[in-house]
Structure 1
Amino acid sequence: MTKFDLHTHHFRCGHADGNIRDYIEAGIAANLQVIGISDHTPYFGSEEEQPFPKIAMAKQELSHYVEEVLKLKTEYEGKIDVLLGIESDFFPEHAEIYRDTLSRYPFDYIIGSVHSTFNNSIFNKTRWNELNEQQHIEHKEEYYRLIRESARSGMFQILGHIDAMKGNYPLFSAIPASEAIDETLQTIASCQVAIEINTSGKTKLSGGWYPSHEILERAHHFGVEVTFGSDAHKPWRVGDELEDVAAKLREIGFEEWVYFKNKQKISVSL
């Protein structure tokens, strides 16, 4: 089985440790054949150079990021396949500037992630405090509506952590919205976008993986393709729980997972 990890960060985003080389070396140590570098995009929805220095890299850093990954891709050729990826926020109102800017670079893949709804971070622990039961449902449905819109945008090969809103609010999973989740998985399948199994839930209050086993079972039912990403913000987490994820996917009934090179899908047997 080709081993890969498509979701890694480094110091440029302002909330991860280590440089790109550290993550590549960690990938080699973890016996990966493929390592994807996928730091957060700059925030293009503002004219400021770096409005959120603890969340995303400065705009001027994007070209340096690409140059460094491409340089290391060449240096490590024959040792490990280094892929140029990026994790892009999805804001419908800013989608075209993201699409236009990212199209200028030779990304192997782009991960599309919804990190905010109603102008509030999905990881904000306090966002739920004043909401009634109906508003809980509305916030969950809006999250999945945005994920559907991101799938239909055509901007992404992979959708990131599709139930990460549970990260700092574990009760999110119990909010009734099964129809919204099924509609979202059907949309993702029809758009032929992959979802990642992201093992970074252990760094949040929810624990576990994104998405849950239950959602992965529904994803299999609807024919959604899957990939793997540790979402490592520290080098030691590269490839974290990859074997466990593969085993669970086989148990559910998946026979393969995918990664992307030059935006072309490569299927790997589980």
Structure 2
Amino acid sequence: MKFDFHTHHDRCGHAVGTIREYVEAAIDHGLDMIGISDHSPYFFSKEDHLYPGIAMAKTQFSEYVSEVLQLKKEYSGKIDVLLGVESDFFPEHADLYRQQYHLYPFDYIIGSVHVVDGLNIFKRGRWEGLSDTEKRQTKENYYYLIEESARSGLFQILGHIDAMKGFYPSFSAIQTETIDKTLKVIAEFDLAIEVNTSGKTKDCGGWYPADEILERALYYGVKATFGSDAHTPGRVGDDFELVRQRLKEIGYKEWAYFKSKKRFLTTL
């Protein structure tokens, strides 16, 4: 079975292409399932469209859901189109996001931490001038938020759990035991993590998460799934077969897919 659970489109302001174009790309690549999971609005903001270049407007959310559901019907029998969303995780607003998501029939929700200590994880200059102690604390704060996202009950998948290395490859070398602690929590709350191939488009030049994290995740019993994090139709399913093979080499026997917020496992 071939699938891709992490794709975006033009509503978020930094991806290109319509949802239909991503569905058609998935068919062209022989996928059985395509998950549409654009960035959630900033529901807590008084503004309708707080950051137009980052996420869709609040007033676009229901039309986004309606479009995906319409395409799900239209493409039935050709490909399974799944309704997802990549949700930011803000602990102080978790209940508000929960209320919004309960209104719609999601197949899955990806929980992603994009903001740590008030700064975007991909902000290039955020590491400048930090001491080794401050860098370690930043990494621990990042993984604490991922832990909290796992505990929240909001998500089925946790997104790109070492993406902070994207524009700071040295992130991976910061020594801390927090990753193992976080993986234990993810296992306890029985969430899947994605192998996200968009890291290849960043300075780090590799997938999220790194192989050593996937090895530890397997040790703790954490399930894995696949997401390209495509922001162009041409990246749909990118490196799917390479990821499948790498997971086999690490020792995984199966990986996860989702429908109606239920997890199913299929052989790699």
Provide the rounded CA distance (Å) in 1 between the counterparts of 2:102 and 2:154.
9
Aligned to 1:175: 174
Residue of structure 1 equivalent to 2:144: 145
Compute the displacement of 1:46 (Å). Answer: 1.0
1:212 aligned to 205, 210, 213, which one?
A: 210
Cα separation, 2, equivalents of 1:157 and 1:15: 24
CA distance in 2, matches of 1:162, 1:123: 13
Alignment match, 2:230: 232
What letter corresponds to residue 241 of structure 1 in structure 2? Answer: D
1:51-95 per-position Cα deviation (integer Å, ceiling 9, x unaligned): 100000000100000000000000000000000000000001111
Counterpart-to-counterpart distance in 2, 1:84 and 1:113: 17
Match for residue 111 of structure 2? Answer: 112
Shift of residue 45 of structure 1?
Answer: 2.3
**Counterpart of 1:227 in 2: which secondary structure?**
strand
**In structure 2, what is the equivalent of residue 26 of structure 1?**
25
1:207-251 C-alpha deviation (Å, 9 max, x unpaired): 110000010000011100000000000000000000000000000
How far apart in 1 are the matches of 2:65 and 2:200? 29
- How far the C-alpha of 1:150 sits from its partner, in A, is 0.2
What one-letter code is carried by the residue in structure 2 that aligns with 1:16? A
The list of structure 1 runs, each at least 4 consecutive aligned residues, that deviate by more than 3 angstroms after superposition, is: none
Letter aligned with residue 156 of structure 1: F
Q: CA deviation at 1:188?
A: 0.3
1:192 and 2:190 aligned: yes
SS of the aligned residue for 2:58 comes to: coil
| Secondary structure at the counterpart of residue 60 of structure 1 | helix
Residue 219 of structure 1 aligns to which amino acid in structure 2? A
Q: What's the offset of the Cα at 1:40?
A: 0.4
Q: What per-residue deviation string (whole Å, max 9, x for no partner) do you get for residues 139-180 of structure 1?
A: 000000000000000000000000000001000000111x10
Deviation at 1:266, TM superposition (A): 1.4
Distance 1:206 1:97 in 2: 34
Instruction: Please tell me the residue identity of whatever aligns with 1:74.
Output: K
In structure 1, distance between residues paired with 2:228 and 2:78: 20
Q: Report the counterpart of residue 131 of structure 2 in structure 1.
A: 132
For 1:206 and 1:59, how far apart are their aligned partners in 2? 32
Cα deviation, 1:182-227, whole Å, max 9, x if unaligned, reads 0000100110000000000011110110000010000011100000
Q: Which digits, 9 at most, give the CA deviation of each residue in 1:85-142, with x for residues without a partner?
A: 0000000111111111111111000000000001100001100002101000000000
In structure 2, C-alpha distance between the alignment counterparts of 1:116 and 1:223, rounded to whole Å: 27
Find 1:253's aligned residue among 230, 251, 254: 251
Partner SS state of residue 112, structure 1: strand
- Alpha-carbon RMSD across the aligned residues, in angstroms, is 0.5
- Secondary structure of the corresponding residue to residue 109 of structure 1: coil
Instruction: Determine helix, strand or coil for the equivalent of 1:214.
Output: helix
Give the 3-state SS of the residue equivalent to 1:267 in structure 2: strand
| Structure 1 Cα separation of the partners of residues 50 and 260 of structure 2 | 30
Q: Equivalents in 2 of 1:8, 1:267: separation in Å?
A: 21
Q: How does the TM-score come out when normalised to structure 1? A: 0.99
Alignment of 1:48-127 (within 5 A): 48-127=47-126
